Amino acid sequence: MSHTPGVRQAQKRKTRQALLDAALGLLEEQSLSSLGLREVTRAVGVAPTAFYRHFRSTADLGVALVEEALGSLHPMIRTTVSPTEDSDERIARAVELIAGHVAAHPAHVRFIARERHGGVQPVREAIREQLARFAEEVKAELAKDAVSAGWSDADLRMLAGLYVDQMLITASLFLEALEAVEAPEEERRRAARTAARQLRLISIGRAHWLD
């Protein structure tokens, strides 16, 4: 075993990931600005000082969590917005995609919703940057659509921003449904119907924008 290179590196990655996972778990019930370094290491089972081998501070860890939560989402964005099928069909699929993501990664979604306007500046900035990238990508997809013919750059940007904000609102809605004490499944369906309606209204506004 001592001949395999990278054993040390692999172990380090593992500890780092354990710190990220533990922090994400603790952040379900508090915000980053009150998260203690000792809390995190205690949850992992390492000495408090081990934290410094991986992150400068909890704010630094938060920035890493932003990357983990949003970095892998870009491919999904593209496929959601890309203009293919019937509008109502596409909306239903987009809403279900969001619902599925929230169900699969509730802690990540909560973290982003919470820290987007939270008390830690570098984390807010990291989220802002990722969402700006999303908006750029959505805009690029929208531009390909025939419906967008004749749209100004500013109008496309506005619509892309509206879609990104709506995506976050919908995700928050599903998260609240997940947390509902009674009848969470009914809450989930209600959230899906509301989200679909809102996207449909935006879609209609889009179709008549240049009237």
Partner DNA sequence: TGTACATCAGTGAACGCGCGTTCACTGATGTAC
Binding positions for a second copy, rule: CB under 8 A: 27, 29-31, 33-34, 110, 113-114, 116-119, 154-155, 157-159, 161-162, 165, 169, 172, 193-194, 197-198, 201-209, 211
Q: Which residues, 13 to 42, sit near DNA by CB under 7 A?
A: 14-15, 36-39, 42
Q: Which is nearer to a second copy, 80 or 170 (CB)?
A: 170
State the binding string over 42-61 for DNA (x if CB under 7 A, else -). Answer: x---xxxxxxxxx--xx---
Q: Is the separation of the CB atoms in 120 and 32 below 8 Å?
A: yes
Upper half-sphere CA count for residue 166 (Cβ side, 13 Å): 23
Please report whether residue 7 would count as binding DNA according to CB under 7 A: yes
Angle at 60 between CA 70 and CA 166, to 5 degrees: 30
Please report whether residue 2 would count as binding DNA according to CB under 7 A: yes
Tell which residue, 71, 74, 70, 161, has the closest CA to residue 116. 70
> Taking the CB of residue 147, how many other CB atoms lie within 10 A of it?
14
DSSP E strands, 93-183: none
CB of 31 to a second copy, least distance (A): 4
> Taking the CB of residue 2, how many other CB atoms lie within 10 A of it?
4
Q: Which is nearer to a second copy, 101 or 161 (CB)?
A: 161
Structure tokens at 137: 């990508």
Which of DNA, a second copy, none does residue 58 bind (CB under 5 to 8 Å by kind)? Answer: DNA
Which of DNA, a second copy, none does residue 161 bind (CB under 5 to 8 Å by kind)? Answer: a second copy
Taking phi over 0 as left and psi of -120 to 50 as alpha, with beta for the rest, 153 belongs to alpha
Binding positions for DNA, rule: CB under 7 A: 1-2, 4-9, 11-12, 14-15, 36-39, 42, 46-54, 57-58
